[in-house]
Chain A
Amino acid sequence: DTTVKQNPRYKLARVGKPVNLICSQTMNHDTMYWYQKKPNQAPKLLLFYYDKILNREADTFEKFQSSRPNNSFCSLYIGSAGLEYSAMYLCASSRDGPETLYFGSGTRLTVL
Chain B
Amino acid sequence: AQRVTQVQPTGSSQWGEEVTLDCSYETSEYFYRIFWYRQLFSGEMVFLIYQPSFDTQNQRSGRYSVVFQKSFKSISLVISASQPEDSGTYFCALSDGSFNKLTFGAGTRLAVCP
Interface residues of A (CB under 8 A from B): 31, 33, 35, 40-45, 48, 50, 55, 88, 90, 92, 94, 98-106, 108
Query: Lowest 4 CB-CB distances: which A-B pairs, in order?
Result: A106-B43, A103-B45, A42-B104, A105-B44
What is the interface of chain A mostly: helix, strand, loop, or mixed? strand
Judging by beta carbons under 8 Å apart, are B45 and A100 in contact? no
In the complex, given contacts A42-B91, A90-B43, A103-B46, what are 20 additional A-B residue pairs having Cβ atoms less than 8 angstroms apart? Answer: A33-B101, A41-B106, A42-B103, A42-B107, A43-B45, A43-B102, A45-B102, A45-B103, A48-B99, A88-B43, A98-B33, A98-B95, A99-B100, A100-B50, A101-B35, A101-B47, A102-B47, A106-B42, A106-B43, A106-B44
Residue of B whose beta carbon sits closest to that of A97: B100
User: Complex Cα distance A16/B79, Å?
Assistant: 45
Instruction: Write the nearest CB–CB distance from A25 to chain B, whole angstroms.
Output: 13
Judging by beta carbons under 8 Å apart, are B35 and A42 in contact? no
Partner of A101, one of B9, B100, B103, B105: B100
What residues on A are CB-neighbors of B88 within 8 Å?
none
Q: In the complex, which residues 49-95 of chain B have their Cβ closer than 8 Å to any Cβ of chain A? A: 50, 52, 91, 95
What residues on B are CB-neighbors of A108 within 8 Å?
43
Judging by beta carbons under 8 Å apart, are B105 and A42 in contact? yes
Residue of A whose beta carbon sits closest to that of B45: A103
Partner of A55, one of B43, B50, B99: B99
What residues on A are CB-neighbors of B35 within 8 Å?
100-101
Judging by beta carbons under 8 Å apart, are B45 and A42 in contact? no
Instruction: Write the nearest CB–CB distance from B77 to chain A, whole angstroms.
Output: 15
Judging by beta carbons under 8 Å apart, are A43 and B33 in contact? no
Partner of A40, one of B9, B42, B101: B9
Q: Which of A94, A102, A103 has the most CB of B within 10 A?
A: A103
